[in-house]
Amino acid sequence: MKKGKVVTTVGIVVLFCVSLIIGINYSISVHAATAYIPQSTLVSRGPEGIKLGNYFDYNSDSTFSTNHAVSVTSDYYPDTTDILELSNGANQLSSVWSNNKDNYFDASKPQTLSVWLYLGANELISHAGEGVAFVLQNSGTNAISRDLNGNPASGQTLGVWGDDTIPDTTNYSNIIKLPNNTADEVAKRAIQNSWALEFDTNINQTVGKLDYTDNIITLDNDDGDTLKNDPVTQDYDDTGLDDGTTTKQVRDQHIAWNYPGAASTYVVSPTKYLNNTKLNGFLTGQYKTIDQYQMDHDPEKSKEQTDEDADMIYGAKNDVDMTAYATSSKTWHHLTIKYTPPADGNLQTGTGKINYSYNDKKYDGTNGTYKNNGMRYGISDVDMKQFHLTNGQNKLYYGFTGSTGANGSYDALIFETMPSVVEAKADQTITDTTQNKTVTDGSTVSSGDDLKLEYNLNYIDGKAPLSNIRFEHVPIKDLSYGDSNGIIGQINNADGSTSNITKDDLTNYIPDPDSPTVTSQEIIKAINGELSGDTSAVTVTLYAKANTVTSDTTEDSTRSTFIGDLYKKDLASPTFTINANKPHIEPTGGTDNQTVQSSSDFQLLGDITEVNDKNEPQIFKVSDMKISTKINDGSWTTPSTLVGYAASTTNSYNLMSSMNSSALNKEGENHVYIRAIDSNGNVSNVADYKITVNDYTLKAKADNPIIDVTNDDPINITGTFAHIDGAALESGTAEVYIKVTNEDGTTSSERAYSTDNASGKFSVALKPYAYDMNSNADNQAESYDDFLSDWSNTMGLLKEGTNVVSLRIVDADSHKSTPITYTINVPKITPKLTIDSPSQTSVNTNFNIPVKADLGSGYSFNAKNLKYSVTANGVTKTIIPSAPVTNQVGPVSSPFSSTVDAFNFDKNKAYPMTITATDVYGRKSAPLDVSFTYVENILNLSVGNYSFKTLNLNGINNELVPRKGNWDIDVESYKTDWDLSATGSDMYKSLADGSKQKLNGNLVYVDKADQSHLLDNQLIDEDYSGSATDKHTDVSDDWTANEGILLDLYSSEVSGNYTGTINWTLVQAP
């Protein structure tokens, strides 16, 4: 905050001269050849940002009537960037606010704002405008500083601080009428409910010498004397006043923060005004004391932490670079605001935090630094009480205010983010894949190293998707990108697709906006799709190789960028060095492929060199070279200095390293890896030493190494073993270790079996995978899948398909054999289930289903080893067949039994039933579908086709022709009385002309009393016993040859074959 500057004429001259010298020196050293560029042009050449749409309010109808904020066109990015110009002349005031609908600061969440500031150009500090302020507030889009009359107040207020300007201070008659100011009154004229960070572009000076004591300001109404040395209207330097006191305020262009609407922000400075009006030739000697106020620039004086410029990190920043430049790339200053909500989550009384960084990024997108780019940073605790948020409210307006006084200036903004609209995060990682290390600032890589550059963009939160995204990358100078096919990298797009980055995606790059010279190329590639809460990530990967350099070469930082409609993030590559030389190690003496015995010593030999870009050995200091080793899949050891010759130099070092095979942790093939690291941190190639540890003194032999399985019994594998040197075997027990690799790619753990050592023979039974699935009641009750998943069950080793068995032996004296191999082929067959009648009934609650199983020709199996899965009426049961216990070739009768209650069957209702079988190898049958009915009673009739005997008829009349064969008329009954009757049709024979001839005779029934009855609904038999059990009655069984159904032939003129029909009627008796 500043007051109207009132200084002596001498002060003006001195200030002008000093500023002029600085300006000349600056121009000579940096911009001697640069032509003058108007400020309007510098503004329009601002860096690329984002379009703002309707997310900000800055029009006069929604803010205040004299708001000078206006959008201007970007010269270079008219389609993607909005530039908000806050001022372009004297005595202007402006504000830009988030609309608080979709665009706001969410006080309950971390928020990051990235914005570019234009604060003026090529100006003497004393001629600069007033400045701008970043503001968080809870008062609305019409928030602005007001004067005593309630009108917007420009100048010293920056549009945010309280105004205490005294109107017409040269007229004592006006002053005498004013009430005395208070800090509360000044604070009320500021933006209320707010926190502000000011960028004060106007100079702050040490107070000059007073004309009068007691801070008296001399007023002259009649003689035209000027007002002199107003100490209240200046921001003070802390180097001390003429009276020896200090003000503890700031100097020159500065950054500071405070709470505009809080009275504690304003420091009182009483001022006496003297009336020099002459009355009858004498001074009246009248005084009026007015309390005037200045901003306290150090609100957290108790925090003593300082930065590189001795500024308080929590206090103001002095001597900040703001307006002393004349080019587009220098006049735009980047600002990052990072807000952290209160740790206790209380938005009414808690304390948040804001970290701000100014000039943290250069115009070209690379990182700004404290020394070469004027970067400044600070921290502010944020007292949430100042915002007066109500319970449940979390939205704050954010934006900028700005003002100019008599010194006109340009101020402008370019936004890169709007936190609540799109909150995203981007990061990068560069990996030297040759040396397997991450490249960071200060790292080194070697000529020819392969590098992988990875860039990630993650959508975190927001009100809108991030669309129209593109990736940009300015290549690092001494890297070669891509492969021989022109593929530079890949993008994992937002829509899930993958795109290649090729040389066609390179375009011209102009790093200096004030010069049209093309100095490089950059990659620009559109990203498919958009990011939102549903699709949250994009990954870009570039591949490059470090060029061969003849001397160590430092690679400056370059820019990579993710930019979309509502978000932009620049990523600066680390500064690293490409070393011309790198170490190399070459195994020698054939030691990179050795076979050694267990617990024996061996040597690793090699030649270590430091080679240049032509692979020529260079002189290096032995003590500067270190080696690191790794065994198998272990970790690299801490690098250790080469042994011997520590102070000497050489162009080749002979490595001799001794090891014992016990350090390799395992028998068989091992790998010892060695690499060298030089003094620059460059890592050599990796030398691979293959070491095979051999401890085999037994020889094992298989009797039958290939076995084809033809049944479901365990498979016996047999063989012999002996000492390689022919020595006798010891007494005791040998262990046979077996593991099996199945056709599905799984390999079992190794299992141990015992055998007599002295015999030199072994026999091991390998079970099918699910051989024990019916071994006990618990297993029988489990389904096949449950049996497999039950950790308490031990599975067999053999599965369907090819099983490769690896077998090794350790004898009683711990001698070991080399592994031998068996191949066991289990045929891939599908069990088949059949049933004679698909419709099954039962009158008993215990029922039996007569299934037959078959595993194919030549394959014998035990039906008891099958496991049925039976599903009916929504119930699935696991059932074991009641079948023979010996192996048989199918089809094998494999019935199963169950109960009506197990399936909740109702009486007299047909239920579909599905049956599948699984055998011990897990081979599963196709489903067998049957119908099952639990009946309350039974009444069934079984009849067939019948005939009568052939007779030689000579003049026969009224002859009864007997039946031929057993007619087997069967009635099945259960709990049912019944009557059986029959009706016979006429009988006919077919003639040659196609007509039919009727038999002269009829079917008759002859009863036990030898009475003949025409077969016309004739009762044949009956049973009224009730059939307490399932009963079968053969109706024709007790007929004699002259009883039952016969053929009554009336004439002998009936030769030929005649056919007819008997209709049977079986009814339940009443």
User: Do 357 and 231 belong to one domain?
Assistant: yes
In a domain, 2, yes or no: no
Residue 876: give its domain's CATH number. 2.60.40.3580
User: Do 662 and 544 belong to one domain?
Assistant: no
For residue 919, pLDDT over 90 is answered with: yes
The pLDDT score that the predictor gives to residue 644 is 62
CA–CA separation, 535 and 529 (whole Å): 9
Residue 568: give its domain's CATH number. 2.60.40.740
Distance in angstroms between the alpha carbons of the first and the last residue of the chain: 117
Residue 749: give its domain's CATH number. 2.60.40.1220
User: Do 94 and 240 belong to one domain?
Assistant: yes
The pLDDT score that the predictor gives to residue 170 is 55
Interval 523-539: pLDDT, tens: 999 999 999 987 789 99
For residue 246, pLDDT over 80 is answered with: no
Interval 814-865: pLDDT, tens: 888 889 999 999 999 999 999 999 999 888 889 999 999 999 888 999 989 9
Torsion of CA 433, 439, 443, 447, to 10 degrees: 40
For residue 313, pLDDT over 90 is answered with: no
Residues 206-210: contacts with CB within 8 Å, 24+ apart? 206/236, 206/237, 206/239, 206/240, 206/241, 207/231, 207/234, 207/236, 207/241, 207/242, 207/247, 208/7, 208/8, 208/11, 208/242, 209/242
User: Do 450 and 466 belong to one domain?
Assistant: yes
User: Do 995 and 1044 belong to one domain?
Assistant: yes
The pLDDT score that the predictor gives to residue 566 is 95
CA–CA separation, 126 and 800 (whole Å): 92
Residues 6+ apart with CB under 8 A from 631: 663, 664, 665, 670, 671, 672, 673
For residue 659, pLDDT over 60 is answered with: yes
In a domain, 557, yes or no: yes
The pLDDT score that the predictor gives to residue 317 is 83
CB 229 within 8 A of CB 212: no
For residue 1019, pLDDT over 80 is answered with: yes
CA–CA separation, 927 and 914 (whole Å): 6
Q: How confident is the model at residue 301 (pLDDT cuts 50, 70, 90)?
A: confident
Among 763, 798, 826, residue at a domain's last position: 826
CA–CA separation, 1005 and 983 (whole Å): 10
User: Do 564 and 593 belong to one domain?
Assistant: no
User: Do 137 and 267 belong to one domain?
Assistant: yes
User: Do 479 and 588 belong to one domain?
Assistant: no
CB 970 within 8 A of CB 1032: yes
Interval 450-485: pLDDT, tens: 999 999 999 999 999 999 999 999 999 999 999 878
The count of domains in the chain is: 6
Among 776, 793, 826, residue at a domain's last position: 826
Residues 6+ apart with CB under 8 A from 262: 187, 386
The pLDDT score that the predictor gives to residue 308 is 65
CA–CA separation, 80 and 50 (whole Å): 6
CA–CA separation, 334 and 113 (whole Å): 11
Mean pLDDT (whole number) for 857-876 = 93
- DSSP H or E stretch at residue 194: strand 194-200
Residue 621: give its domain's CATH number. 2.60.40.10
For residue 961, pLDDT over 80 is answered with: yes
Interval 735-748: pLDDT, tens: 999 999 999 999 99
Helices (H), 773-858: 777-781, 784-789
Residue reference for tokens 């069990």: 831
The pLDDT score that the predictor gives to residue 285 is 52
User: Do 220 and 286 belong to one domain?
Assistant: yes
User: Do 361 and 451 belong to one domain?
Assistant: no
CB 864 within 8 A of CB 780: no
Q: How confident is the model at residue 218 (pLDDT cuts 50, 70, 90)?
A: very low
Residues 6+ apart with CB under 8 A from 896: 848, 849, 851, 868, 870, 879, 880, 881, 882
Domain that holds residue 735: 696-826
Q: Is the peptide bond before 270 cis (omega within 30 degrees of 0)?
A: no
How many CB atoms are closer than 10 A to CB 219? 19
CA distances from 531 to 54, 421, 568 (A): 21, 12, 13
- DSSP H or E stretch at residue 41: helix 39-44
- Between 46-60, 264-278, 582-596, the lowest mean confidence (pLDDT) is in 264-278
Q: What percent of the chain has pLDDT over 90?
A: 58
Interval 560-589: pLDDT, tens: 999 999 999 999 999 999 998 889 999 999
Candidates 646, 625, 623, 544; CA nearest to 581 is 625
For residue 722, pLDDT over 90 is answered with: yes
User: Do 173 and 224 belong to one domain?
Assistant: yes
Q: What percent of the chain has pLDDT over 70?
A: 86
User: Which two tokens mark 576?
Assistant: 């690293």
In a domain, 1, yes or no: no
In a domain, 400, yes or no: yes
The pLDDT score that the predictor gives to residue 126 is 60
Residue 246: give its domain's CATH number. 2.60.120.200
In a domain, 788, yes or no: yes
Mean pLDDT (whole number) for 436-441 = 93
CA–CA separation, 396 and 100 (whole Å): 7
Report the DSSP pairing between strands 82-89 and 409-415.
Answer: antiparallel
Interval 677-717: pLDDT, tens: 998 888 889 999 999 887 777 899 999 999 999 999 999 99
* Of residues 179 and 425, more confidently modeled: 425
The pLDDT score that the predictor gives to residue 512 is 83
Interval 548-560: pLDDT, tens: 898 899 999 999 9
Q: What's the angle, vertex CA 359, arms to CA 358 and CA 361, rounded to 5?
A: 120
Mean pLDDT (whole number) for 79-88 = 94
CB 698 within 8 A of CB 815: yes
Interval 756-776: pLDDT, tens: 999 999 999 999 999 999 989
CA–CA separation, 984 and 1058 (whole Å): 13
User: Do 676 and 553 belong to one domain?
Assistant: no
Candidates 454, 483, 439; CA nearest to 579 is 439
The pLDDT score that the predictor gives to residue 233 is 35
In a domain, 430, yes or no: yes
The pLDDT score that the predictor gives to residue 176 is 53
CA distances from 681 to 352, 551, 584 (A): 43, 16, 13
Mean pLDDT (whole number) for 1043-1068 = 88
Residues 6+ apart with CB under 8 A from 483: 543
In a domain, 3, yes or no: no
For residue 277, pLDDT over 60 is answered with: no
Q: How confident is the model at residue 84 (pLDDT cuts 50, 70, 90)?
A: very high
Q: How confident is the model at residue 280 (pLDDT cuts 50, 70, 90)?
A: very low
CA–CA separation, 729 and 733 (whole Å): 11
CA–CA separation, 99 and 103 (whole Å): 6
Among 398, 415, 432, residue at a domain's last position: 415
Amino acid of residue 601: D
In a domain, 863, yes or no: yes
